[in-house]
Amino acid sequence: GGGHNGLVAAAYLARAGRSVLVLERLDHTGGAAVSTRPFTGVDARLSRYSYLVSLLPRKIVRDLGLDFRLSTRTISSYTPVERDGRPTGLLVGGGERRTREAFARLTGSESEYRAWQRFYDMTGRVARGVFPTLTEPLPTRDELRRTVGDEEAWRTLFEEPLGVAIEERFADDLVRGVVLTDALIGTFADAHDPSLKQNRCFLYHVIGGGTGAWDVPVGGMGALTDALADAARAAGAVIATGHRAVRVDTDGRTAEVTH
């Protein structure tokens, strides 16, 4: 397939001297990371499906010489709510002062903001340790625990349902909900799911780049996957769009693909 993962693999394999053929069923590469021009006559390229970049290691960008640009978001989130008959909301972003003031307006004090800072200081420390392992051999549980190096953080994020820590650390339900968004989006879990699916979802939302930042690709996600396709082709890979792989035969040593 010619999605972003397939293109990364193709580029690395081709650079290593392998003969690489990428078969993509659709008439274009990119998978869910593509851009579209929604406005007739306007050269505005917007992401169609996936729309932010966070988990792409800089090592891959450097190794493959990817030519694309990211823009930092000023605002992380805004959550509207009505309190005591008064419309208000929680703004996260736009600088520390604006965020602190938004917490105070919503909750009547700075205690929730201080709890927010402590919580995300902890996730930031974990992110800085865990994110570099994404381009290394998969660590064992004990190795990762040593990398985290903080037993409270390990228990909070890896051992017990995330809802436990959120309910202990935050008093305001709206603030709890904002934190939980990164744990529940795209899953069918709940805050106290014993499977810890919500913890895994939360972790991949907060470890990106070692900071948890989610950036906007200029020109949409297609700008990134176009750069990946260019890198793969430049290394010698052949990319065939409009080709469906229908069969793979192997004797355990070699493989033949029918398409």
Q: Taking the model in full, what pTM does it have?
A: 0.90
Shared domain check, 235 and 191: no
- Residue pair 18/239 in contact by the 8 Å Cβ criterion: no
Shared domain check, 167 and 132: yes
Phi, psi values for residue 82, rounded to 5°: -110, 125
What is the pLDDT, as a whole number, of residue 68?
Answer: 95
What is the pLDDT, as a whole number, of residue 22?
Answer: 97
E strand or H helix that includes residue 62:
helix 58-64
Shared domain check, 198 and 144: yes
Taking all residues of the chain, what is their mean pLDDT, rounded to a whole number?
Answer: 96
pLDDT surpassing 90 at residue 64: yes
Phi, psi values for residue 116, rounded to 5°: -60, -45
Q: Residue 135 is part of which domain span?
A: 75-210
Q: How many domains does the chain have?
A: 2
Shared domain check, 181 and 143: yes
Percentage of the chain lying above the pLDDT 90 cut: 96
Instruction: Kindly report, residue by residue over 134-164, the tens digit of the pLDDT.
Output: 999 999 999 999 999 999 999 999 999 999 9
User: Could you tell me which of 151, 143, 161 has the C-alpha nearest to residue 201?
Assistant: 161
Shared domain check, 202 and 173: yes
Which whole-number Å values give the CA distances from 256 to 8, 104, 246, 252, in the listed order?
22, 63, 11, 11
| 60 in a structural domain | no
| 86 in a structural domain | yes
Q: For the domain that residue 15 is a member of, what is the CATH number? A: 3.50.50.60
What is the pLDDT, as a whole number, of residue 12?
Answer: 98
pLDDT surpassing 90 at residue 255: no
Per-residue pLDDT band at 231 (split at 50, 70, 90): very high
**DSSP per-residue string spanning 211-245:** TT--BEETT-HHHHHHHHHHHHHHTT-EEEET---
| 65 in a structural domain | no
| 160 in a structural domain | yes
pLDDT surpassing 90 at residue 128: yes
Instruction: Kindly report, residue by residue over 163-213, the tens digit of the pLDDT.
Output: 999 999 999 999 999 999 999 998 999 999 999 999 999 999 999 999 999
